[in-house]
Chains A and B, each alone.
Chain A
Amino acid sequence: MNSTWFVYLGFSVVLLFVGIYCLLTMRNLIKLFIGIEIISKAVSLALLTSGFVRNNILLAQSLVITFIVVEVSLVATALAIIINIYRHTKSLDIRKLTKLKG
């Protein structure tokens, strides 16, 4: 049990690292959101793996489906906010969002 869990969790932690690296270094708003998507993939992989090794795959599946619904809602809202920011500043650069001028 532990070796399978170790392999899958190891891979999902690497995915988490890729996502966090993207969040820390990129400047494009859409790229940042792609980073968040990668982190959410890591989370769903970890959730399903835990169910798989504990013989609770049905419960893990229902949790993953709930997570995917939350993810879709988050994506729709965040992309709408990104489009509004683009209309406001004419750019997707996060460095232009540092000025709070109202």
Chain B
Amino acid sequence: MTLQILLLTGLILFSILAILSRNLLRSAISLAVASLLLGIIFFRMNAPYAGVFEISVVAGLITVLFILTIALTKGESDVRESNLVRIVFPLFFVVFIIIDVLVMKSLVQKIPALPGSADQGTFGDVLWKQRTFDLIGQLAIILAGVFSVLALFRKRDKDE
């Protein structure tokens, strides 16, 4: 449990670094490290498939997409963030953590536990037999993503 808490703390620290860093490339790499830590947390929670997906897709592919976008939008894209954001953040963060610790415990106890049974079978059984419609939805969403990217990068016709 101690290692898990350390990993979770690292996840939050790298996320904070990702939003507060001035350099966009550094932000993207901090986000990748945060995904890597989340993947390790998933592995330690006995969820190897989710961990593999998190590390390979989120830490790998999405970081590549982010870096590609940063490279394609370079130039005069240096947007000035206000300095107040960095100064005020620790204050808000500490206040939020205090509220979180005080309120969450009672809130979690108020959530009723729904009846349910433990998992049976293997991961393949659950994914392919119980959640078949999810797979169809995933296919539809991937196709939607592909077509939207194609539509957004379409070359303009000559008469436009």
Contacts and interface: CB of A to CB of B under 8 A. Distances in A.
Interface string B45-59: 111011001100110
A85 to B, nearest CB: 9
A80 B81 CA distance: 23
Interface in B100-149: 100-101, 104-105, 108-109, 113, 116, 118-119, 121-123, 126-127, 130-131, 134, 137-138, 141-142, 144-145, 148-149
Contacts of B38: 41, 44-45
Interface in A20-58: 21-22, 25-28, 30-31, 33-35, 37-38, 41, 44-45, 48-49, 51-52, 54-58
B85 interface: yes
B46 A52 contact: yes
Given A11-B12, A41-B34, A61-B47, A73 B104 contact: no
A43 B69 CA distance: 24
Interface string A67-82: 0111111111101111
- Which bracket fits the contact residues of B? 35 or more
A92 B57 contact: no
Given A37-B31, A59-B130, A93-B79, A69 B141 contact: yes
B40 interface: no
Interface of B: 1, 5, 8, 11-12, 15-16, 18-19, 24, 27-28, 31, 34-35, 38, 41-42, 45-47, 49-50, 53-54, 57-58, 61-62, 65-66, 68-70, 72-73, 75-77, 79-82, 85, 89, 92-93, 96-97, 100-101, 104-105, 108-109, 113, 116, 118-119, 121-123, 126-127, 130-131, 134, 137-138, 141-142, 144-145, 148-149, 152-153
24 contacts: A7-B1, A8-B8, A13-B100, A14-B100, A22-B19, A25-B81, A26-B85, A30-B69, A34-B66, A38-B18, A45-B41, A52-B46, A55-B119, A57-B45, A58-B119, A61-B123, A64-B54, A68-B50, A71-B58, A77-B152, A80-B148, A82-B69, A86-B77, A90-B76
Given A10-B100, A49-B45, A55-B118, 5 more contacts: A17-B96, A18-B16, A27-B79, A72-B145, A81-B152
